[in-house]
Amino acid sequence: MKQVVLTGIKPTGILHIGNYFGAIKPGIELANNPDYDCYYFIADYHALNIIKDKQTLKDNTFEMAASWLACGIDPKRVVFYQQSKVPEVTELNWLLSNVTSKGLMNRAHAYKAMVEKAEANGDDPDAYVNMGLFNYPILMAADILLFNTKLVPIGQDQKQHVEMARDIAKAFNKRYGYTFVVPQDLISEGVGLIPGTDGQNKMSKSHNNIIPIFATEQELKKLISAIKTDSSLPTEPKSTDCALFNLYKLFATEEQRAAMAKRYAEGISWADAKAALFELINNYLSPMREKYNYYKAHPEVVKQILAEGSQRARAVAKETIKRARLAMGLD
Ligand code: ADP
Ligand code: TRP
């Protein structure tokens, strides 16, 4: 039996190379492994809590789907779908709500952070909390349990949510008999954090130090030339412990990496180092950029892929719902 791997991608704006190496590339590698059945989806129900503008939600959902496809998700191998097109998610959300204690939800980091923020501002503790935020972990458990998921690839920040999904699956199985596979998280430690263009150790939208995956050539050149470097003279030896070399390493082969380290030791100018980085990244990203431009120009292709994926997902989801309803005495 193949193991099911599932993960949700929140449709929040543009992707950067930290996302690519931290989440997208490992996701694509898992999907290429014949031991796994992969389900990847755009988590638009979850995004309702953050994105309140109708058109922005639509645009972001399309953008994220086009981006993942351009990065190399193969919709034949992966069931690639839009969460809200599988409404069984919300039915399971309700069923699971009835085996989930409020106490478990009270412990969620995201909820607690909002309460602390309100308290610090002297507001009512629940002033910034709507039920979408409070119930977020149950909806996520529904996503996961609906597809008999074993492995959930996620970043460290989502670990608690997968633990909650485990608790909810166990609570259900205990009360109603074995119904759900108990999932576990899969946190890839391979690449670690990708540094930002300002030298901070994390590239992040919120730090304003990103290189978007689909930046144009000109934008890419500009971003790379703005990467912070030290003040050593052009002919002086350079340390490879810098953002520029760390970024180079990500895209380079072993040989390219060794050759560049040698040039650093011999004293490459920062201008030449930046030009080499630009060329390397641009060569790597340009086929992806082309695919991205294709999908942007053909939204109907993306929509068709998502529609087919959502249909495949629903077929599995319906079976799980049937099982859960029977177990609970609804049917
Ligand atoms: P951001 O910090 O830019 O808002 P997200 O929190 O939306 O990015 O991250 C989405 C995914 O990309 C997560 O799985 C996260 O682990 C990964 N990721 C984000 N930034 C980095 C980074 N600098 N290095 C490695 N992985 C990252
Ligand atoms: N909450 C996840 C995030 O913020 C997205 C997500 C929704 C998800 N449902 C999921 C991730 C199910 C893994 C499994 O990134």
The predicted structure's pLDDT at residue 190 = 67
The predicted structure's pLDDT at residue 192 = 77
Give the domain CATH number at 233: 1.10.240.10
- Which tens digits make up the pLDDT trace of 57-73? 999 999 999 999 999 99
- Ligand closest to 22 (CA) is 1
The predicted structure's pLDDT at residue 12 = 84
pLDDT, mean over the chain: 96
Q: Reply yes or no on whether the pLDDT at 155 is more than 90.
A: no
Shared-domain flag, residues 42 and 160 = yes
Please report which confidence band the pLDDT of residue 1 belongs to, taking 50, 70 and 90 as the band edges.
confident
Q: Which of 140, 150, 152, 204 to mutate to test the pocket of ligand 2 (most atoms within 8 A of CB)?
A: 140
Q: What's the token pair of residue 325?
A: 């309803």
Q: Would you say 9 and 158 are in contact if contact means Cβ atoms under 8 Å apart?
A: no
Q: Is residue 111 part of a domain?
A: yes
Please name the residue whose Cα sits nearest to atom 2 of ligand 2: 8
Q: Is residue 202 part of a domain?
A: no
Q: Is residue 139 part of a domain?
A: yes
Q: Is the CB of 140 under 6 A from ligand 2?
A: yes
User: What pTM did the predictor assign?
Assistant: 0.94
- Ligand 2 center to 296 CA (angstroms): 25
Shared-domain flag, residues 306 and 238 = no
- Ligand closest to 188 (CA) is 1
The predicted structure's pLDDT at residue 193 = 84
Q: Reply yes or no on whether the pLDDT at 13 is more than 80.
A: no
Average pLDDT over residues 127-131: 97
Please name the residue whose Cα sits nearest to atom 19 of ligand 1: 19
Shared-domain flag, residues 255 and 186 = no
Please name the residue whose Cα sits nearest to atom 9 of ligand 1: 19
Shared-domain flag, residues 33 and 132 = yes
Tally of domains within the chain: 2
- Which tens digits make up the pLDDT trace of 162-220? 999 999 999 999 999 999 999 999 987 767 788 899 988 889 998 999 999 999 999 99
Shared-domain flag, residues 167 and 308 = yes
Shared-domain flag, residues 285 and 227 = yes
Shared-domain flag, residues 43 and 153 = yes
Q: Is residue 205 part of a domain?
A: no
Query: Which of 22-26, 159-163, 262-266 shows the lowest mean pLDDT across its residues?
Result: 22-26
Q: Is residue 204 part of a domain?
A: no
The predicted structure's pLDDT at residue 188 = 79
- Which tens digits make up the pLDDT trace of 83-113? 999 999 999 999 999 999 999 999 999 999 9
The predicted structure's pLDDT at residue 29 = 94
Shared-domain flag, residues 165 and 237 = no
Shared-domain flag, residues 26 and 9 = yes
Average pLDDT over residues 250-273: 96
- Which tens digits make up the pLDDT trace of 300-331? 999 999 999 999 999 999 999 999 999 999 99
Structural domain span for residue 249 = 214-293
Shared-domain flag, residues 178 and 250 = no
Q: Is the CB of 154 under 6 A from ligand 2?
A: yes
Question: 167-186 b/e with 16+ CB inside 10 Å = b?
Answer: bbbebbbeebeebbbbbebe
